[in-house]
Amino acid sequence: MLENPTNHHRNHFRGLRAAITGGTSGLGLALVRELLARGARVAFVARGRDGVERVEHGYPESYGIVGDVSKKTDIHPIAMQVMGMLGGLDVLINNASDLGPVPLAMLADTDCEELERAFATNVLGPFRLTKALLGALGSSAREGFGAVVLNISSDAAINAYPRWGAYGASKAALHHLSRIWNEELASQGIAFLSLDPGDMDTPTHAAAVPDADLASLKRPEIAAVELVDAIGNLLSFMKSERIAEEATP
Amino acid sequence: MTAAHLPIQRPRQAKLLVIDEQEQFRHWPRSRLVDLFRSGDLVIANDAATLPASLAGEHPRSGSLIEVRLAGRDSLDTNDIRHWTAVVFGAGDFRMRTEDRPPPPRVVTGDKFVLGPLHATVERILGHPRLVRLVFEESSREILEGLARHGRPIQYSHVRPSLALWDVWTPIAGPPVAFEAPSAGFALNWHSLSSLKDRGARFATITHASGISSTGDPQLDARLPFDEPYYIPPSTASAIRDTQMRNGRVIAIGTSVVRTLEAAAGVGGSVQAGQGVAIQRIGSGSRLRVVDAMLSGTHEPGTSHHELLRAFLDDEGLAHLDGELNLRDYRTHEFGDSVFVEHVQQPSVRQFEQNRSHLN
């Protein structure tokens, strides 16, 4: 009998410890729900205390953390709370992002401060938070749980869309950062994914394209299933690699 | 020795004094640390992240300003963060030497402390007017957030700039359970983890709640180190077994790793995975069952870290070490230079015990 691949992936998440930034709306909230549904223990981060408390109230088994990943001084307090609540970390999802100027603007019309903010949230924040949690991820890898960092990317990281300059350039940097992290840390058992969830019906997309045809947009819940499946596939692959390695005399 | 006064974890000029099993002394740049590791070695570090364990606040009954330094807990359980052992200081901060700080107000059981957003009650006085058992009134989440936002790393006057958490987290820091940084781990970075793997050595971690190194009070300092909870992951216990079977060396990065592994050691140096509390003091009478070598900071005579070196070296060796460190101007304290010391008799003792346990 053929195994249902979805059920197969689901087993990978029971008891795993996951942290998600930007977890109170859009894709981030959908990822919180999807990971909880698959049995993971989930900590999420967002800037607004009201939003954090609302999601915690809706999902009392989740752990909410108030913090802004674009602020250097918030990173270690966030990492400390993630680790203090979960005791360890297997999956980190850097999802929080900044669109740059709203409404979207040509680069020539983008303020330096807007570009800086986009890079602070989309590049420096994920870099710093990943670095602060790398010890925990390495420990997870040595215990054979498989450690994965998923950085949420975009087609704007690859294609040069006019008026998406701050967002596109920062997402391109994050994408490349992910590829280099992956090369450097594969030997330590820590894997990095950079995935484009597609155009979704989220607050971010509404800010960028206010007149978009909502029917043409992906539901964030669908994107969350696809992304968590991708992490599950990778965990499954890493596990088989590990078993093969251990079997080698 | 002079105190390292800048919070730089891996300064380029860092020095390393290497003492091999023949008690030969060599002076190396610490950047060559990885060259000490051989195929078959197991390098074990403490992956505890450092808590912002210094909490400024007040003692409402006396109206005094105080500083509370968290200094101990019963276990590493994430649900068990309401109760702590703590040392109470009078007004002031790290800019004044702990010895010169004014004494705290008299504290009695039932007293309240207001520590920024956190509220604590004194449950017991622990045999010294400044050493107390505290219970926080808030929930685990509120306590964690309160510590993360209001707490500061414990700091001493020899380091001049005010420390941030990133200054005291080692590159491999994980669970936030250390009261002061497991600073021997500052010497490691991710490149060294890759390099030691390329050399055929392995890397593993334990988690040990490293305690405070000084209180400024001779009676309290004599009680250091306090009991320290630890956790040994299954992969580390299994790597130790493999290493011992192949006669490789178990190399501890820091005194806290020595304390964990020796506290957990069974007959023949076997080590079980799991949680425990290190209550033993390691010193001249201690026989090391697990650890073959240690990387450590340079420590001043009279401290518990310095005493621990007596488990590796005899009086003459230790006097020679202290002399060399002074002569060559090694820098001391948490951001200072390092010592790598190998223990001579360990494999034969362990082999004897292993044989004996097999005979039994």
Q: pLDDT confidence of A10, banded at 50, 70, 90? A: low
Q: What is the pLDDT of residue B25?
A: 95
CB pairs under 8 A between A and B: 95
The nearest CA of chain B is from the CA of A210 a distance in Å of 37
Which of A85, A136, A188 has its CB closest to that of B144? A85
Q: Is residue B155 part of a domain?
A: no
Q: Which residue of B has its CA nearest to A78?
A: B148
- Among B98, B120, B150, where does a domain finish? B150
Which of A75, A81, A188 has its CB closest to that of B144? A81
Residue B16 shares a structural domain with residue B106: no
DSSP per-residue letters across B45-89: EE-PEEP--EEEEEETTTTEEEEEEEEE-S---TT--SEEEEEEE
| CATH number (domain holding residue B124) | 2.40.10.240
- Chosen for mutation from A56, A73, A76, A188 (greatest number of chain B CBs closer than 10 Å) is A76
| CATH number (domain holding residue B24) | 3.40.1780.10
Residue B78 shares a structural domain with residue B33: no
Residue A169 burial class via C-beta count within 10 angstroms: exposed 0-12, middle 13-18, buried 19 and up = buried
**Phi, psi of B76, deg, nearest 5:** -95, 10
Q: Which residue of A has its CA nearest to B195?
A: A187
Domain membership of residue B58 as a residue range: 54-150
Instruction: Give the model confidence (pLDDT) of A108-148 as tens digits.
Output: 999 999 999 999 999 999 999 999 999 999 999 999 988 99
* Overall fold of domain A12-247: Rossmann fold (3.40.50)
Residue B142 shares a structural domain with residue B247: no
Q: Does A81 touch chain B (CB under 8 A)?
A: yes
- Flag whether the ipTM exceeds 0.90: yes
Indicate yes or no: CB of A144 within 8 angstroms of CB of B235: yes
- Among B117, B150, B183, where does a domain finish? B150
Place of tokens 């360990």: B346
Residue B64 shares a structural domain with residue B189: no
- Among B128, B150, B172, where does a domain finish? B150
Q: Is residue B226 part of a domain?
A: yes
Instruction: Give the residue numbers of A marked as catalytic.
Output: 167
Q: What is the value of pTM for the model shown? A: 0.94
Q: Which residue of B has its CA nearest to A135?
A: B172
Partners of B236 on chain A (C-beta within 8 Å) are: 142
Place of tokens 């964690």: B144
User: Could you write out the three-class secondary structure of chain A?
Assistant: CCCCHHHHHHHHHCCCEEEEECCCCHHHHHHHHHHHHCCCEEEEEECCHHHHHHHHHHCCCCEEEECCCCCHHHHHHHHHHHHHHHCCCCEEEECCCCCCCCCCECHHHCCHHHHHHHHHHHHHHHHHHHHHHHHHHHHHHHCCCCEEEEEECCHHHCCCCCCEHHHHHHHHHHHHHHHHHHHHHHHHCEEEEEECCCCECCHHHHHHCCCCCHHHCECHHHHHHHHHHHHHHHHHHHHHHHHHHHHCC
Indicate yes or no: CB of B174 within 8 angstroms of CB of A81: no
Cα separation values, A45 from A31, A51, A118, A221, B148, Å: 12, 10, 18, 18, 14
Q: What is the pLDDT of residue B347?
A: 47
Picking from B346, B342, B319, B284, the residue whose alpha carbon sits closest to that of residue B21 is: B342
Find the helix or strand (DSSP H, E) in which B331 lies: strand B331-332
Mean pLDDT to the nearest integer, A148-171: 97
Q: What is the pLDDT of residue B355?
A: 52
Q: What is the pLDDT of residue A12?
A: 79
Question: Does the bond joining B225 to the residue before it have cis omega, within 30 degrees of 0?
Answer: yes
Residue B117 shares a structural domain with residue B241: no
Residue B16 shares a structural domain with residue B88: no
Q: Show the low-confidence residues of chain B (pLDDT under 50).
A: 346-348, 358-360
Mean pLDDT of chain B: 93
Residue B92 shares a structural domain with residue B197: no
Residue B146 shares a structural domain with residue B208: no
Residue B299 shares a structural domain with residue B347: yes
Partners of A188 on chain B (C-beta within 8 Å) are: 190, 193-194
Pairing of strands B42-46, B202-208: parallel
Q: Tokens at residue A137, please?
A: 């991820």
Q: Does A136 touch chain B (CB under 8 A)?
A: yes
Residue B194 shares a structural domain with residue B299: yes
Do B47 and A139 contact (CB within 8 A), yes or no? yes
Instruction: Give the model confidence (pLDDT) of A19-28 as tens digits.
Output: 999 999 999 9
Which of A87, A135, A184 has its CB closest to that of B78? A87
Please state, as a whole number, how many other Cβ atoms lie within 10 Å of the Cβ of residue A246: 9
The nearest CA of chain A is from the CA of B170 a distance in Å of 9
Q: Is residue B156 part of a domain?
A: no
Q: Is residue B131 part of a domain?
A: yes
Residues in chain A: 249
Q: Reply yes or no on whether the pLDDT at A11 is more than 80.
A: no
Q: Which residue of A has its CA nearest to B172?
A: A135
Q: Where do the structural domains in chain A lie, given as residue ranges? A: 12-247
- Chosen for mutation from B190, B195, B198, B231 (greatest number of chain A CBs closer than 10 Å) is B190
Do B153 and B179 contact (CB within 8 A), yes or no? no
Residue B103 shares a structural domain with residue B171: no
Q: Is residue B184 part of a domain?
A: yes
Q: Is residue B261 part of a domain?
A: yes
Q: In what order do the strands lie in the sheet with A41-46?
A: A63-66, A41-46, A17-21, A91-94, A147-152, A190-195
Partners of B163 on chain A (C-beta within 8 Å) are: none
Residue B175 shares a structural domain with residue B36: yes
Q: What is the pLDDT of residue A244?
A: 84
Q: Reply yes or no on whether the pLDDT at A3 is more than 50.
A: no
Instruction: Give the model confidence (pLDDT) of B145-166 as tens digits.
Output: 999 999 999 999 889 899 999 9
Indicate yes or no: CB of A136 within 8 angstroms of CB of B166: no
Indicate yes or no: CB of A187 within 8 angstroms of CB of B170: no
Mean pLDDT of chain A: 94
Provide the domain count of chain B: 2
Q: Reply yes or no on whether the pLDDT at A7 is more than 60.
A: no
Do A65 and A45 contact (CB within 8 A), yes or no? yes
For A78, residues 6+ apart whose C-beta sits below 8 A from its C-beta are A45, A65, A67, A69, A129, A132, B148
Work out the percent of chain A whose per-residue pLDDT is above 70: 96
Cα separation values, A27 from A15, A191, B271, Å: 22, 21, 45
